[in-house]
Amino acid sequence: MELSYRDITYCKNVGAKRADILRSELGVRTAMDMLRQYPYKYIDRSRFYRIAEIADEDTYVQIVGEVTEWHTIGIGKAQRLSATFNDGSHQCELVWFKGVQYVKLAKGVKYLLFGKPSRFNHTYNFVHPDLTPWNKVTPEMTQGLEPYYNTTEKMKKSGLNSKVMRSIIAELLPDLRMGVPDTMGMDILQQYRLMPLTEALVNVHFPRDTQSMQNARARLKFEELFFIQLQILRQMKRREMNEGFRMPLVGSRFHSLYKSLPFELTNAQKRVIREIHEDLKSGRQMNRLLQGDVGSGKTLVALMCCLLAVDNGYQTCIMAPTEILANQHYETLKKFLEPLNEQLHMNNEEAPYVNVALLTGSTTKKQREPLHAGLRDGQIHILIGTHALLEDEVQWRNLGLVIIDEQHRFGVAQRARLWSKNTMPPHVLVMTATPIPRTLAMTLYGDLQVSIIDELPPGRKPVHTVHYSLQRRAQVYSFIHQQIEQGRQVYVVYPLIKENEKMDLQDLQNGYNELCEAFPEYRISMVHGQMKAADKDIQMQRFASGETQILVATTVIEVGVNVPNATVMVIQNAERFGLSQLHQLRGRVGRGADQSYCLLLTDMELSNETRKRMDIMVATNDGFRIAEADLQLRGPGDLEGTQQSGLPFELHIANLSTDGQLLELARHAAKEILDADPMLTDERNKMYKHRLDVLRIEAHNWADIS
């Protein structure tokens, strides 16, 4: 039976119980699923060490020698076994804390010792090493690279450790070597010099040598990335065929706002508005991603795009993930629209206003009734809101443009509800202030056109960032005092709300109390995510109006807070934050004409990775450089939003943080195929369509949503 259809239950070394665990823990249902569980590392078993040669505690070694003595310590579950192992050059200690009763030792017997050494009291120790009598060592155990597989705690408790996974896969090799249908055509294999699938699967699990292993992994990574790109670009081709509302007119509202601005738009803002208008007037549905670093002017671009839609007779909405951000957008738009509405009124325009409204969870029932009516009759032109926009009661007369801010914070199904009420899908503009590395943009947003505001408004000074240890808090407080005396305001951000005994971090409440003692002459506000929205807004407004000089907060202020007079951002225990979060928090200052500062306070003792994060923050204000560094340091799985936004299918072997070059090649290969055959109907491309179906990309039609 073909491996793709062979139930894992009936594979050797599996059985019903293990099959259930493999299905529930790894999603393994067939023999081919098992072969697609790739090793996460390899250990070279071809080299033999002498104990005297060991120099690196992070390297697995194998040594031939004898057990000279052993003894057990303790009783019952606390019992452990300690043994002395000698290879003639030196001796080391072996220790077992579990399964002591299963360890059988004998003097005068030659053993193969395999494990990772650690140094204790000037002696190397091996904890739970593999110890095999030399007469039972097979050639496979000491030749080439030994694969290691990821397992879960539940798997280990049932005996499904890496060694057993390896044995299950080894039993499938004879059938595998007979050949499996390839998922990629010979033309691609030859063009990109890729191994056939059969050869790649054999060598990814049991490679002949390092080069064979690398070639096998490259082939399998390319395949994963190729089908992700094929699905993304195929969806893009479908979207290009979607009819969209035509918005060719650049009308009086747009021109009046442009003329009323007290400053000149940056060249980047002008370019992005032109790109968006080209989409709006094309007759095809727009699906565009707008990237812009903190403070680059995305909100103004969004407003001008709304006015393009309103001038063409359509309603628009801006959906934000939090009430704070929604309120911020609302206040910003009102500020820009006041002089515009006055100008329109003076010119006796037919519609002497642009009506903007706000809908959030805090909007009362009494306020909602006229708001809903205004949406239905078209009197409300722009609606700004949170998840409340998704409610069934929200009905539009003619919704033509949807702008989603920080869309990774919304579930896909939630976003779908926003325009499922329309007869025709509205144009969609997705905005993010979190710069996205190129490799992530090509996967998470690879089916969208991309516009980038890569220029800050004139007069903005880069935020000066400094890294201090917590021991220098007195110096930091002195600096805060100086800034407040000059009329400025200060943010102080903490990673926790209440004290956690397991983490040696200063919590928000304690920090607030300490700051009140340190600065008794100043007024201090406190904001965190567990406060009621109304209380939070009161505290934010006190700070925004200048009534309070210091705002103590958690990351609730990461987005949506705009206080130009705030010039200092102090981040307590900055080691607890990722690069992206640190950059977003730093973006809360530097929004006025005065020089601003970001002070990163950490413990003295830092890991290498944490120190790199601090060094990057000090070295640059460029969000795109920071995002690339974040991807390299943490990998894509940890970056905000990647799990919820989601890839078309799961990655088993490719890594977006390290395989950027392969991703470029895979995207190019997919694009070439789809340019010639957008629907994959040609006979030679049916294999690709079949593979996409196998990957169940049509199971939920989420891909139709930006």
CATH of the domain at 68: 2.40.50.140
Residues 600, 505 share a domain: yes
pLDDT band at 340 (very low <50, low <70, confident <90, very high): confident
Angle between the N-to-C axes of helices 533-544 and 323-346, in degrees from 0 to 180, rounded to the nearest 10: 60
pLDDT tens digits, one per residue of 212-266: 999 999 999 999 999 999 988 988 888 777 888 999 999 989 998 998 888 899 9
End residue of a domain, out of 115, 142, 169: 142
pLDDT tens digits, one per residue of 13-71: 999 999 999 999 998 999 999 999 999 999 888 889 999 888 776 678 999 999 999 99
SS3 state at 383: strand
Count of CB atoms situated within 10 Å of the CB of 645 = 19
End residue of a domain, out of 432, 451, 479: 432
Residues 238, 256 share a domain: no
* Nearest partner of 214 among 188, 193, 229, judged by Cα: 193
User: What one-letter code names the amino acid at 118?
Assistant: S
Residue 459: inside a domain, yes or no? no
Q: What is the pLDDT of residue 119?
A: 85
Cα gap 185→677, rounded to integer Å: 15
Sheet holding 464-469, edge to edge: 464-469, 597-602, 566-571, 489-493, 550-553, 524-527
Residue 641: inside a domain, yes or no? no
pLDDT band at 704 (very low <50, low <70, confident <90, very high): very low
Cβ atoms 239, 227 nearer than 8 A: no
pLDDT tens digits, one per residue of 323-337: 878 888 898 899 888
Q: Judge residue 194's burial from the number of C-beta atoms within 10 Å of its C-beta, 0-12 exposed, 13-18 middle, 19 or more buried.
A: buried
291: left (phi over 0), alpha (psi -120 to 50) or beta: beta
Q: Which has the minimum average pLDDT: 99-113, 274-288, 346-360?
A: 346-360
Residues 685, 598 share a domain: no
- φ/ψ of residue 127, rounded to 5: -95, 125
Q: What percent of the chain is modeled with pLDDT above 90?
A: 49
pLDDT band at 500 (very low <50, low <70, confident <90, very high): low
SS3 state at 413: helix
Cα gap 183→690, rounded to integer Å: 9
Count of CB atoms situated within 10 Å of the CB of 573 = 21
The arithmetic mean of pLDDT across residues 293-313, rounded, is 92
Residue 450: inside a domain, yes or no? no
Residue 458: inside a domain, yes or no? no
**pLDDT(608) > 90:** no
Handedness of CA 667, 669, 674, 676 (dihedral sign): positive
Q: What is the pLDDT of residue 705?
A: 37
Number of independent structural domains in the chain:
5
Query: H or E stretch including 359?
Result: strand 356-359
Cα gap 354→338, rounded to integer Å: 9
Residues 413, 310 share a domain: yes
**pLDDT(688) > 60:** yes
Between 632 and 302, whose confidence is greater? 302
Q: What is the pLDDT of residue 295?
A: 78
Cα gap 564→585, rounded to integer Å: 14
Q: What is the pLDDT of residue 114?
A: 92
Q: What is the pLDDT of residue 300?
A: 93
Instruction: Enumerate residues 6+ apart whose C-beta is below 8 A from 91.
Output: 51, 68, 84, 85, 123
Residues 306, 177 share a domain: no
User: What one-letter code names the amino acid at 703?
Assistant: A
SS3 state at 7: strand
Rg over alpha carbons for the chain, rounded to the nearest Å, is: 31
Residues 506, 591 share a domain: yes
Structure-block tokens of residue 249: 């007119």
Count of CB atoms situated within 10 Å of the CB of 232 = 22
**pLDDT(503) > 80:** no
Cα gap 49→117, rounded to integer Å: 12
Q: For residues 488-524, b (16+ Cβ closer than 10 Å) or e, as one string?
A: bbbbbbbbbbeeeeeeebbbbbebbeebeeebeebeb
The arithmetic mean of pLDDT across residues 687-692, rounded, is 91
8-state DSSP, 30: B
Q: What is the pLDDT of residue 421?
A: 65
Residues 472, 591 share a domain: yes
Cβ atoms 535, 562 nearer than 8 A: no
Per DSSP, the residues of 243-300 read B--------HHHHHHHHH-SSPPPHHHHHHHHHHHHHHTSSB--EEEEEE-TTS-HHH
Q: For strand 117-120 and strand 123-127, is the pairing parallel, antiparallel, or unpaired?
A: antiparallel
Residues 300, 269 share a domain: yes
User: Distances in Å between the alpha carbon of 577 and those of 477, 540, 581, 582?
Assistant: 22, 22, 6, 6
Residue 217: inside a domain, yes or no? no
pLDDT band at 529 (very low <50, low <70, confident <90, very high): confident
Q: What does pLDDT average to over the chain?
A: 86
Cα gap 233→505, rounded to integer Å: 46
Q: What is the pLDDT of residue 420?
A: 67
Q: What is the pLDDT of residue 581?
A: 86
pLDDT tens digits, one per residue of 379-424: 999 999 998 888 888 999 999 999 998 765 454 455 556 666 677 8
* Nearest partner of 380 among 416, 355, 417, judged by Cα: 355
Cα gap 239→285, rounded to integer Å: 7
User: Distances in Å between the alpha carbon of 324 and those of 327, 384, 547, 561?
Assistant: 5, 12, 18, 7
Residues 374, 272 share a domain: yes
Residue 643: inside a domain, yes or no? no
Between 640 and 3, whose confidence is greater? 3
Per DSSP, the residues of 543-580 read HHTTS-SEEEE-GGGSSS---TTEEEEEETTGGGS-HH
Q: What is the pLDDT of residue 702?
A: 33
What CATH number does the domain containing 405 carry? 3.40.50.300
Q: What is the pLDDT of residue 262?
A: 85
User: Distances in Å between the alpha carbon of 472 and those of 30, 163, 468, 478?
Assistant: 59, 51, 7, 10
How far separated are the first and last CA of the chain, in Å rounded? Answer: 41
Residue 594: inside a domain, yes or no? yes
Residues 229, 339 share a domain: no
Residues 479, 528 share a domain: yes
Q: For residues 79-96, b (16+ Cβ closer than 10 Å) or e, as one string?
A: eebebebebeebbbbbbb
Residues 522, 663 share a domain: no
8-state DSSP, 390: G
Four-point Cα dihedral 150, 660, 691, 147, nearest 10 = -30
Q: Residue 196 is part of which domain span?
A: 8-42+152-207
Q: What is the pLDDT of residue 82?
A: 92
Q: Judge residue 253's burial from the number of C-beta atoms within 10 Å of its C-beta, 0-12 exposed, 13-18 middle, 19 or more buried.
A: buried
Between 172 and 108, whose confidence is greater? 172
Cα gap 619→627, rounded to integer Å: 14
End residue of a domain, out of 601, 620, 639: 620
Residue 627: inside a domain, yes or no? no
pLDDT tens digits, one per residue of 446-462: 778 889 898 877 777 88
Per DSSP, the residues of 111-128 read EEEEE-EEEETTEEEEES
